[in-house]
A and B are shown apart, each in its own frame.
Chain A
Amino acid sequence: MNTQTSLNFRTNAAAAIKDSSLRKAMRNATETFGSKRTVAMASIDFEVLREKASAIRMEVINNLPAYIEKFTSNATAAGAIVHRAVDAKSANQIIAGILKDHDVKMVAKGKSMVSEETHLNAHLEEEGFEVVETDLGEYIIQLEGETPSHIIVPAIHKNRQQIGKLFHERLGMEYSEDPQALTKFARKVLREKFLTADAGISGANFAIAESGSLVLFTNEGNGRMVTSVPPLHIAILSVEKILPSLDELPTFMRLLPRSATGQMLTSYVSILTGNRKEGDVTGAQELHVVLLDNGRLEILKGDCREILKCIRCGACMNVCPVYRTVGGHSYGWTYPGPMGIILTTLLTGMANSYSLVDASTLCGACNDACPVKVPLKEMILKQRVRRVKEGYSSTAVSLGMGLFGMAIKHPLMFSTGETLASKFWSVMRTVGGENVAGRLPSPAKIPFSRRMS
């Protein structure tokens, strides 16, 4: 079980709503993602492709243990050392252990959401290793001491002024708000890290069972750097991110970048198969692959197992009206937006997450956007049902629902309720509050049904 102090979504969100620079950043992001995605999707048949992608992912999920075995066997044959980590603690310890064995001082790190989930950086730093995030967005938030607020663009909640100030204060760069100048400065600073790091740690978008390969979709080049320059490369990914063979990869090459950033394809797709072999001058001397469970095999047994199809594109949060308004930090854990509601609830437990399942208007835009057809809206509803069953619904709501349920079956009780509400509306307003009852019009003196008799 992932430990997490209980998060209060409403409190988190209320603070976010008042943050005008965050609102502006989220607006800019949503508009940009929206228009780019529309353009990108015009060049493929999205419905046909995502049906295909969904089927491929379900095939893997329905046979997951076999695919994990197959990947492990083939990756090992290619020269990788594969580790199974049952939970976050285990993964962190395995990785720290590998670094210790190799006398590593400094690690250059590529982006990995799973490493955020396990709090890998914090553990490694505690163990005395220097960890440098090399993805520009991750680097920015590492400097700031924050967590990512989006799974693709981690620093999306920050504007150029904030980043300019950060680079000026923390890196001694002459103040500039120009994204070009800031990026070029980061290139210079991080180049030295790539070329001298003792080890590289990366995530992976997919693991290919048949060839034992890892696949990374990146744009900046840092992913390529950390996986091929240092002598030691450790990749961490969660167990469900498997595709059967490289023949299935094109479908995801067509869907993932378009869904994530509106690009036809990322600048780089790296397919890494094992470590450096006889005759190679490319590849890490030693490659370790850490396959993380951390609750996924448990999800496999339940009625929301389709969430394991998720390919971490971020499309669902980009179209979510709630995410757009409050940003990623309000969700209180690693993954925000619709997929975040489901994963957080399933992986950290209902006791922690019960307020999070309210974070949806059930508009269904996420279902429409998902490139692997995860039924996100239906799963959020399932978690709400579960919340009631497990007793995490508030007493007031349960009482209200009980009364409501009775009134629905008894028209006389229903119309009496309407009459009372109308008569005592000023009281209802006070009880209900300005923000809820205050937004409703006063009830009609004569309800429609009475006009129909």
Chain B
Amino acid sequence: MMQLSCPWCGPRNVNEFHHDGPLHRRPDPAATTVDEWRHYLYIRQNPHGVVEERWYHAAGCRKFLIVKRDTRTNTVIPAEGEPR
């Protein structure tokens, strides 16, 4: 079973979380070009390896958290100082 460690709730089953993916910055709608905006809308990173991404603890504390995960194996890499 895959577990994520929520900083507020502790280790929980991955089913409780919603995957939001690698962080990407939204361009300023007032200043952006059409190409930049569509790039933001559609182009996604699809890392094959370790990725830092955002998850949402939907069925728990409903807070966002950053998780480091290897997408090849789904191994979660604990942050520095975090218990394993």
Q: Do A and B bind each other?
A: no
